Amino acid sequence: MEREWVVEESVAVEAEARTVYAAVADLRRMREWSPELFATWIRGRRIAPGTKFVGFNRIGWRVWFTTCQVTVAVPGEAFAFRVSTFGMPVALWGYRIEDIADDPSAPRTRLTEYWEDLRRDRRSAAVTSLLGKVFTGVPAERRAAANRESMRATLARIGKAAEIARR
């Protein structure tokens, strides 16, 4: 089986695109959405391109952290961040938000979460893949499948929260 380098999942949410974006871009609430993330530490109050944060993650008994930097923050449209460990690139995570409503009185938004594995450089890939397996228990060749499963849970949680916020 060939290794997947990019994964994406989508869900339709019965809420306005700006409401969905507000949930996705609220880094302090990420732990509510992600099955792996349990805390974030953010530099500064404003979330914009360049904002740095640290994500603290857990799978079972394994705990690790990653350093992240917001790369895209366009309200109602897109949010993304790069992840690194010990200064080496690991992944790009992001969300695309698209208004798909046919009727303005019934808002509907497509929320797509995507992940791209950035561990392609031979030198850093060997190190970050080994660190990833040691810290997460997930070998690099299984990371895409694990992320796909996690994305489905994340999207369902964000969607539910956005729909409740809309009411």
Is 1 inside any structural domain?
A: no
**Strand 52-59's sheet: what is its strand order?**
6-13, 109-117, 88-99, 78-85, 62-74, 52-59, 37-42
More confident of the two residues 11 and 122: 11
Judged against a pLDDT cut of 70, whether residue 55 lies above it is answered with yes
Indicate the number of domains in the chain: 1
80 alpha-carbon distance from chain centroid: 8
Q: How far is CA 114 from CA 43, 44, 104, 150, in A?
A: 24, 25, 27, 11
* Average predicted confidence (pLDDT) for the chain: 89
Is 125 inside any structural domain?
A: yes
Is 145 inside any structural domain?
A: yes
Q: How far is Cα 109 from Cα 46, in angstroms, rounded to an integer?
A: 25
44 confidence band (pLDDT: 50, 70, 90): confident
pLDDT over 70 for what percent of the chain?
A: 90
Is 127 inside any structural domain?
A: yes
Lowest mean pLDDT among 73-77, 120-124, 146-150, 163-167: 120-124
End-to-end CA gap in the chain = 45
* Domain CATH number, residue 15: 3.30.530.20
More confident of the two residues 64 and 4: 64
Q: Which amino acid is at 23?
A: A
- pLDDT digit string (tens) for 116-131? 988 876 666 666 666 6
Predicted confidence at residue 46, as pLDDT, reads 87
Is 126 inside any structural domain?
A: yes
Residue 17 structural domain: 6-166
> For the range 163-167, what are the long-range contacts, defined as Cβ-Cβ under 8 Å and sequence gap of 24 or more?
163/13, 163/14, 163/15, 165/15, 165/19, 165/22, 165/23, 166/14, 166/15, 166/16, 166/19, 166/107
